[in-house]
Amino acid sequence: MKLPEGISLEINANKVKVSGEKGELKREVKLYYGMKIQKEDDKLKVISESDDRKAKALVGTVAAHIRNMAKGVTKGYTYHMKIVYSHFPVTVKVEGSKFIVQNFLGARTLRTAKIVGDTKVEINGQDVTVAGIDPEDTGQTAGNIELATRIVGFDRRRFNDGIYIGKKE
């Protein structure tokens, strides 16, 4: 795998640290089957001594994790979400590490979603933007927000209220 420009990569046994213009990410990678991670100039190699199917799958997984970390520290990850309601106007706000939804389907109880890690959540009218450099934290936060407004016990064809992921960048 060729490393993008502007990225520094440090490998210490099974710990990988990727730094870029937007920040740095650290990850502990499990290396089985005699796997090794090597950095040569501007290339990264994930090598396995074993040639069986599980080893090949794990090599691809580790390489994909490092590739996603590199993309996160250069471009970042962004989820564009849309607030949809038909009758009761929904109010949303961010308080610390919680995303709070008020008046969902006219209910008085608050619905909360956890904001994971260093993810930033911005609200612009009916649009919610979830952005961060860690792909797992950003995706989990967007999923938590979508899950907080999940409707149970109603016909989904008729009740379309909720906060939905529209576009991922």
Q: What is this structure's pTM?
A: 0.87
Residue 33 burial (C-beta neighbours within 10 Å; 0-12, 13-18, 19+): middle
pLDDT category, 41, cuts 50, 70, 90? confident
Inter-residue contact 36 to 16 (CB < 8 Å): no
Residue (of 45, 7, 1, 43) closest to 25 by Cα position: 7
Question: pLDDT tens-digit profile of 73-124?
Answer: 999 999 999 999 988 999 999 999 999 999 998 989 999 999 999 999 999 9
Alpha carbons 54 and 44: distance in angstroms, whole number: 20
Question: pLDDT tens-digit profile of 112-128?
Answer: 999 999 999 999 999 99
**How far, in Å, are 67, 92, 101 from residue 95 at the CA level?**
32, 10, 11
Taken in order of first residue, the domains within the chain and their CATH numbers are: 8-74 (3.90.930.12), 77-168 (3.90.930.12)
Instruction: Indicate the DSSP class of residue 106.
Output: G
